Structure 1
């Protein structure tokens, strides 16, 4: 397996993710005071600058869908390096842009690469390391997204004060280059998630055309009225295409995005809804008030007014890291929405130029942003299995981009049209933002109440194992629909499970063996639950490059040579057969090439007519296992025979044995 010298080092991977996400997200918040300078030097109109921002934001939204699609069919870590290269190219193109077209192209590449890096790198950082790193990851993710955004106005103001823009963009290019270097140093080759997954071209087309049309239509508000066809046709048409994308993915037999699962479960719907309300409302608290403050303060002074947002984001990121393993995590987005409403109200009172109230409103908004979107994202993600996290991130970032980036020009337009006085118009728009913040809080509480959802302490071990969500999320509106709101009882008793395990007929039993101690323990402990002296087949599933198992003699294996990997898999399977024979089974061995691993296990069971599959689950510590999902869960979902899951533990431990017996009915 190809690896960089820093592969598997948490600090290096976290630094790579941080440096990859900061450039575009910081620029998105720093650009406003630089628009007149860039427009003058590159001979761009205000409308062209607005379209450039709209296209960059559209590319950010589309990149979330593309990254999920590419992950299914292309080597994932190699693609991550490719995205980092794309970010560097886009950043250099913008910084060196001699004219408007080069600037626009570079900005679009920046947006596209940033979201693809987010989807490719953030989920592995979350679930690819032990539980004790999850708190740090929560802080990092919060700071990457909202710390960068909070710092943007100050950076843009400092740069505008110097009446220049290229130095900032060259610094951004240097940061992107550092992210690329770390992506190479932390490289840990990973195969495609599922080569058999459909190539969902309709989803990509709907996302691309819909987002581009919607954002370009909103950008036209710089020089058009809201009622003009040049605005309403692309904006409303684009939104309809995005809705069509959601409906199409909901109804698809094998969807690219987990829309159906998220929209039918209470806690994900509440989390996504809160994130969207917060993204839309926060625009009123920052972009609109900045335009008013610029009438009284210099760009750098306005940047200083918003600097407390960064402090608030840092404080709340630490709080998020503290509560991510606690029941209180459910309450954090609600607290954030209350803080956001308070921040918008204080900003309203600070107009047109109350310095003290502006600083207070900025601090409250920073606390609010740190407590809403990222925590709501994890609340939704914890409600599903960890192998869905990449798709969860993609859906939320797609919708958040629409809610935040498209609402900004609409709010700015309304602020100038409601009244001839910018202060009065902005005040009305702020009240709309205040209503969105309150509405988001009410929405989240209502979904929980009407669905019977309740705050729960997340079971992070089960989540990181990939075998189950971190908590139970009842069906959406379960109370109104008369559905159960708590997990149902197991469908069978322990004694019934035992009958399944003993009544397996004369067909052989299949053991999945990957060379690990836990797989070996599953073979030796299975005799506690199964009749002795049975025929058994021990299968080792392998793939070139990725390998997919722990070779008995790793020093003799060249991962790039399929023949070497096959031979190592055969020797590993033979070792497993020896363990089975020592435990009292009449065992033979077989090596199967398959991707993902679960397919090899299920196909081997069908080929050999196995009556039972025996697995030993264990947490995957690398990117490969987590990006592919839980082998155990996938085998249970697809096998046509019972599956016995033998967890690690001491012999004779009754609760452990009972758990193994009940797991056997997972596919019956």
Structure 2
């Protein structure tokens, strides 16, 4: 494997990530005071400049999805070097632009390369080194994103005072060249993440088209009203495509993005919601106020007034690095949303041009940004296994970019049109930002409370090893589902509501895990999903996939497999077990997947159950057609005949599924209900109960 001279060295890789992310993020915050100079020298209209910025932001948002797809099928570190080349190319095109088209292409390439570098380089920096480095990674990520953004207004003001714009862009070229140099020096060739992953061109197309339409529509606000067709139609169509992408990925059997894992678990939903509210609310706290101040103060003066924002971002980055290994990191986003709300109120008082209050508001906003988005990103990432971190970053950055870059032009347009005096209009828009900050804080608290989520100290050793999430995240709104369940005396009480009554179940911590026999088939999937109806949320589970060479023993689907190669069969068996564990996690279990080599299969199932001290084995019997249609499959029958713990044969149909002829589904559920109650309340230590 080819390596650069600095491969595997944390400081060098951290420098590379820093140089890769700063150019576009700093430029996006610095370009506003330079717009008059750029448009004059390149003979661009204000609308053309707004469109260029909108397309660059669209490229940044959509690039996250494209980067995840390319990482699955192409060598990841080679692609990182390629992204750095694109970054340099975009910077050179923008700095040396001779016309509007050349300048726009440069900005688009800068935005695209930055997001792809973020997805390609940041997760390895996070999980590719020992736990002791995680504090530094947290600070670097916070500073790269929000330190660069906070420094942008000052850089733009300094350059504007000189009535030039190219020197700043050539500095950006230099930083991009350093990023490319470090990418080469730290090169450590690595294979694709998963060559068998689907090539989801539909997801990439929906993300790209949706972002372009949404941002192009928002950019039209520079010369049109919000209700004009040129604005409203592309914005709504773009948002519809992005929502459609989320729904499509949620329902996909092999999704490109881990949408289902994020959107069905409480802590990820809370973290994602806070990040989006913070991204949208911070626009009102910075962009709107700065634009209003520039009507009375020079861009350089405004940039100096916003330097305390950089100080706040640095201070919060250090604090985040301190608490990332502690339970306190759960509270940091809530503190950040509170600081954001206070900062917006201070900006309200600072209008039209109270400079000391502007500096105080900027400091509070810097603290708020450092405490919200990056911590929320890690809160979401810690709630899933570490191998999902790249996809988690992609989801958050995609949606955060949409929230931030679309809200900015809409609120700016609102501030200009709602009142004749811009300061008054900005004040109204700031109240919207204040509402977003308060709503974000309440949203996060409400999701935790409604789901029964509790702040926990992250188990980073297991997380970094890829074994399990850093903490347990209950299913979304789990507590509300239990509270709203009918009482036992109700005639409409369902099996699920009865079984989730705490009084009828032994304490969750005191029970051994259940063991799922899993072969990757639809029947096995159904068994896991249906079993969740009869157990408490958060019940421990072990998902076992038994394999052997030649006679594989499980369903491989479309995955490549050499049945005579033991390592190949073992690898796919591990993937199959993990897929079952992921399904069990989504259903409400705390699950882990294991692959066991054994022959015959039933021996492996029993051995795994014994090794993990399982209290019950759950298996889906495969049925034959014809005269044997009602007989159980041989594996399930052998497990039941030889087990010393309860064995639950989970039927393939449920209350919501098709009802086979001659099967009393209501009676079937009653039998399962009775069986589970007996196994739980009596322990069934030495019984072999087969309903």
1:315 is matched with: 315
1:167 is matched with: 167
- What is the CA distance between 1:666 and its match in structure 2? 11
The whole-number CA distance in structure 1 between the counterparts of 2:10 and 2:618 is: 36
- What is the CA distance between 1:598 and its match in structure 2? 2.3
Residues 262 and 91 (structure 1 numbering): CA distance in 2 closer, same or farther, change over 3 Å?
same
SS at match of 2:163: coil
1:586 is matched with: none
1:598 aligns with 2:571: yes
TM-score, L = length of structure 1 = 0.77
1:606-639 residue CA offsets vs partner (Å, 9 max, x unmatched): xxxxxxxxxxxxxxxxxxxxxxxxxx96754999
Map 1:276-425 to 2 at 5 A: 276-425=276-425
1:48 aligns with 2:48: yes
1:207 aligns with 2:207: yes
- What is the CA distance between 1:327 and its match in structure 2? 0.5
1:68 is matched with: 68
1:32 is matched with: 32
- What is the CA distance between 1:458 and its match in structure 2? 0.5
Residues 633 and 124 (structure 1 numbering): CA distance in 2 closer, same or farther, change over 3 Å?
farther
Residues 61 and 637 (structure 1 numbering): CA distance in 2 closer, same or farther, change over 3 Å?
farther
The whole-number CA distance in structure 2 between the counterparts of 1:471 and 1:419 is: 49
> Which 4+ residue blocks in structure 1 deviate beyond 2 angstroms?
483-493, 590-595, 597-603, 632-644, 657-668
1:100 is matched with: 100
1:197-253 residue CA offsets vs partner (Å, 9 max, x unmatched): 110011011101100000000000000000100000000110000000000000000
1:187 is matched with: 187
1:178 is matched with: 178
The whole-number CA distance in structure 2 between the counterparts of 1:282 and 1:660 is: 52
CA contact (8 A) 2:512 2:615 kept: no
- What is the CA distance between 1:599 and its match in structure 2? 2.6
1:218 is matched with: 218
The whole-number CA distance in structure 2 between the counterparts of 1:666 and 1:181 is: 55
Residues 660 and 299 (structure 1 numbering): CA distance in 2 closer, same or farther, change over 3 Å?
farther
1:458 aligns with 2:431: no
CA contact (8 A) 1:478 1:484 kept: no
1:608 is matched with: none
- What is the CA distance between 1:491 and its match in structure 2? 6.9
2:233 is matched with: 233
Residues 600 and 439 (structure 1 numbering): CA distance in 2 closer, same or farther, change over 3 Å?
closer
The whole-number CA distance in structure 2 between the counterparts of 1:268 and 1:2 is: 37
The whole-number CA distance in structure 1 between the counterparts of 2:140 and 2:184 is: 20
The whole-number CA distance in structure 2 between the counterparts of 1:487 and 1:25 is: 50
Residues 260 and 354 (structure 1 numbering): CA distance in 2 closer, same or farther, change over 3 Å?
same
The whole-number CA distance in structure 1 between the counterparts of 2:75 and 2:322 is: 34
- What is the CA distance between 1:415 and its match in structure 2? 0.2
CA contact (8 A) 1:17 1:122 kept: yes
CA contact (8 A) 1:642 1:667 kept: no
CA contact (8 A) 2:271 2:376 kept: yes
The whole-number CA distance in structure 1 between the counterparts of 2:255 and 2:268 is: 17
The whole-number CA distance in structure 1 between the counterparts of 2:398 and 2:507 is: 31
The whole-number CA distance in structure 1 between the counterparts of 2:367 and 2:241 is: 34
2:91 is matched with: 91
The whole-number CA distance in structure 1 between the counterparts of 2:512 and 2:285 is: 54
SS at match of 2:369: helix
Query: Structure 2: 5+ residue runs without aligned partners?
Result: 483-499, 518-547, 550-563, 578-590, 620-691
SS at match of 1:287: helix
CA contact (8 A) 1:266 1:447 kept: yes
The whole-number CA distance in structure 1 between the counterparts of 2:568 and 2:178 is: 36
The whole-number CA distance in structure 1 between the counterparts of 2:397 and 2:618 is: 34
SS at match of 1:194: coil
1:3 is matched with: 3
CA contact (8 A) 1:466 1:633 kept: no
2:111 is matched with: 111
- What is the CA distance between 1:593 and its match in structure 2? 7.2
Query: Structure 1: 5+ residue runs without aligned partners?
Result: 501-535, 538-589, 606-631, 647-656
2:59 is matched with: 59
The whole-number CA distance in structure 2 between the counterparts of 1:148 and 1:307 is: 11
Residues 157 and 602 (structure 1 numbering): CA distance in 2 closer, same or farther, change over 3 Å?
closer
CA contact (8 A) 1:593 1:600 kept: no
SS at match of 1:406: helix
1:565 is matched with: none
Residues 200 and 329 (structure 1 numbering): CA distance in 2 closer, same or farther, change over 3 Å?
same
The whole-number CA distance in structure 1 between the counterparts of 2:67 and 2:597 is: 26
SS at match of 1:472: coil
The whole-number CA distance in structure 1 between the counterparts of 2:71 and 2:257 is: 12
The whole-number CA distance in structure 2 between the counterparts of 1:217 and 1:160 is: 28
The whole-number CA distance in structure 2 between the counterparts of 1:38 and 1:44 is: 8
1:5-46 residue CA offsets vs partner (Å, 9 max, x unmatched): 111100000000000000000001001000000000000000
The whole-number CA distance in structure 1 between the counterparts of 2:436 and 2:126 is: 30
CA contact (8 A) 1:598 1:635 kept: no
The whole-number CA distance in structure 2 between the counterparts of 1:288 and 1:384 is: 36
2:657 is matched with: none
- What is the CA distance between 1:487 and its match in structure 2? 10
Residues 252 and 666 (structure 1 numbering): CA distance in 2 closer, same or farther, change over 3 Å?
farther
The whole-number CA distance in structure 1 between the counterparts of 2:604 and 2:406 is: 49
SS at match of 2:473: coil
The whole-number CA distance in structure 1 between the counterparts of 2:380 and 2:361 is: 28
Residues 460 and 426 (structure 1 numbering): CA distance in 2 closer, same or farther, change over 3 Å?
same
Answer 1 or 2: higher relative contact order, Cα 8 Å, separation at least 6. 1
2:157 is matched with: 157
The whole-number CA distance in structure 1 between the counterparts of 2:597 and 2:198 is: 17
2:681 is matched with: none
1:262 is matched with: 262
- Identify which range, 474-483 or 459-468, moves more after superposition: 474-483
1:566-619 residue CA offsets vs partner (Å, 9 max, x unmatched): xxxxxxxxxxxxxxxxxxxxxxxx976759x8238789x9xxxxxxxxxxxxxx
- What is the CA distance between 1:296 and its match in structure 2? 1.8
1:508-556 residue CA offsets vs partner (Å, 9 max, x unmatched): xxxxxxxxxxxxxxxxxxxxxxxxxxxx99xxxxxxxxxxxxxxxxxxx
